[in-house]
Amino acid sequence: MTLRTRFAPSPTGYMHIGNLRTALYAYLVAKKDPDGVFILRIEDTDQGRLVEGATDIIYDTMAKCGLKHDEGPDVGGDVGPYVQSERVKDGIYLDYAKKLIRRGGAHYCFCDESVLQAQREAAGDEFKYDDPCRKLSIEECEARIAAGAQYVIRQSIPETGTTSFDDEVFGRITVENSTLDEQVLIKSDSFPTYNFANVIDDHLMGITDVVRGMEYLSSTPKYNLIYEAFGWDIPRYIHCPPVMKDEHSKLSKRNGDASFQDLIAKGYLPEAILNYIALLGWAPSENREIYTLEELVQAFDVKRIGTSGAIFDPEKLTWLNGMWLRNMPLDEYHQLVKPYIEKGLKGTFDTRKIAAILQPRANTLNEITEMVSFLENFSSYSNDLYNHKKMKTNPEIALESLKAAREVLAQTDDYSEENLHALLMELPQKLGRKNGQVLFPLRLAITGLQSTPGGAIELASIFGKEETLRRLDFSIAQLEQ
RNA sequence: GGCGCGUUGGUGAAGCGGCUUAACACACCGCCCUCUCAAGGCGGCAUUCACGGGUUCGAAUCCCGUACGCGUCACCA
Task: Give alpha helix (H) positions in A44-150.
Answer: 54-65, 84-89, 92-102, 113-123, 138-146
Please identify which of the residues A68, A98, A187, A253 carries the catalytic annotation: A253
Provide the pLDDT confidence category of residue A331 given band limits of 50, 70 and 90: very high
Q: Which nucleotide is nearest to A421 (CA to C1')?
A: B35
User: Is the C-beta of residue A382 closer than 7 Å to nucleic acid chain B?
Assistant: no
Model confidence at A124: pLDDT above 70: no
Q: Looking at A188-192, A270-274, A292-296, which range is the least confident one? A: A188-192
Model confidence at A334: pLDDT above 70: yes
Most confident of A122-131, A140-149, A470-479: A470-479
Q: Which nucleotide is nearest to A450 (CA to C1')?
A: B36
CA distance A44 to A51: 10
Model confidence at A49: pLDDT above 80: no
Could you give the angle at which helices A220-230 and A92-102 cross, rounded to 10 degrees?
80
User: Is the C-beta of residue A218 closer than 7 Å to nucleic acid chain B?
Assistant: yes
A303 CA, B73 C1': Å apart? 29
- The residues pairing with A166 across neighbouring beta strands, listed in sequence order, are A172
Model confidence at A259: pLDDT above 90: yes
Q: How high is the pLDDT of residue A68?
A: 97
A307 CA, B45 C1': Å apart? 27
Give the 3-state DSSP-derived string for A113-138, with helices as H, strands as E and coil as C: HHHHHHHHHHHHHHCCCCCHHHHCCH
Model confidence at A113: pLDDT above 80: no
Interval A372-394 mean pLDDT: 93
pTM of the model: 0.94
> Which positions of strand B lie within 7 Å of protein CB atoms?
1-8, 10-15, 23-27, 34-40, 69-77
A145 backbone dihedrals φ, ψ, rounded to 5°: -65, -45
CA A271 to chain CA centroid, Å, is: 9
- Provide ipTM, 2 decimals: 0.95
pLDDT averaged over every residue in chain A: 94
Q: Which nucleotide is nearest to A196 (CA to C1')?
A: B77
Q: How high is the pLDDT of residue A125?
A: 61
Q: Which nucleotide is nearest to A437 (CA to C1')?
A: B35
Ramachandran quadrant class, A91 (left: phi over 0; alpha: psi -120 to 50; beta: rest): left
Q: Which of residues 389-428 of A touch strand B (CB under 7 A)?
A: 390-391, 421
A390 CA, B42 C1': Å apart? 21
CA distance A442 to A457: 9
A296 CA, B34 C1': Å apart? 36
Interval A263-269 mean pLDDT: 97
A276 CA, B3 C1': Å apart? 34
Q: Looking at A117-126, A248-257, A351-360, which range is the least confident one? A: A117-126
User: Is the C-beta of residue A323 closer than 7 Å to nucleic acid chain B?
Assistant: yes
Beta sheet of A171-176, edge-to-edge order: A171-176, A162-167, A236-240, A209-213
Provide the pLDDT confidence category of residue A120 given band limits of 50, 70 and 90: confident
Q: Which of residues 229-268 of A touch strand B (CB under 7 A)?
A: 242, 244, 247-250
- DSSP, collapsed to helix, strand or coil, labels residue A300 as coil
Question: What does each C-alpha distance from A126 to A112, A119, A121, A180, A258 come to in angstroms?
Answer: 20, 10, 10, 12, 38
Interval A228-246 mean pLDDT: 96
Please say if A99 is a catalytic residue.
Answer: no
User: Is the C-beta of residue A166 closer than 7 Å to nucleic acid chain B?
Assistant: no
Q: Which nucleotide is nearest to A125 (CA to C1')?
A: B1
Provide the pLDDT confidence category of residue A253 given band limits of 50, 70 and 90: confident
Instruction: Write out the E strands in A160-220.
Output: 162-167, 171-176, 184-186, 209-213
Question: What does each C-alpha distance from A52 to A9, A14, A46, A88, A321 come to in angstroms?
Answer: 15, 11, 13, 19, 31
Q: Which nucleotide is nearest to A425 (CA to C1')?
A: B35
Q: How high is the pLDDT of residue A271?
A: 98
Q: Which of residues 185-214 of A touch strand B (CB under 7 A)?
A: 187-189, 191, 193-195, 214
Q: How high is the pLDDT of residue A46?
A: 75
A178 CA, B2 C1': Å apart? 10
Model confidence at A123: pLDDT above 80: no
Q: Looking at A143-152, A330-339, A465-474, which range is the least confident one? A: A143-152
Digit-coded pLDDT (tens) for A410-445: 999 999 999 999 999 999 999 999 999 999 999 999
pLDDT cut 90: percent of chain A above it: 85
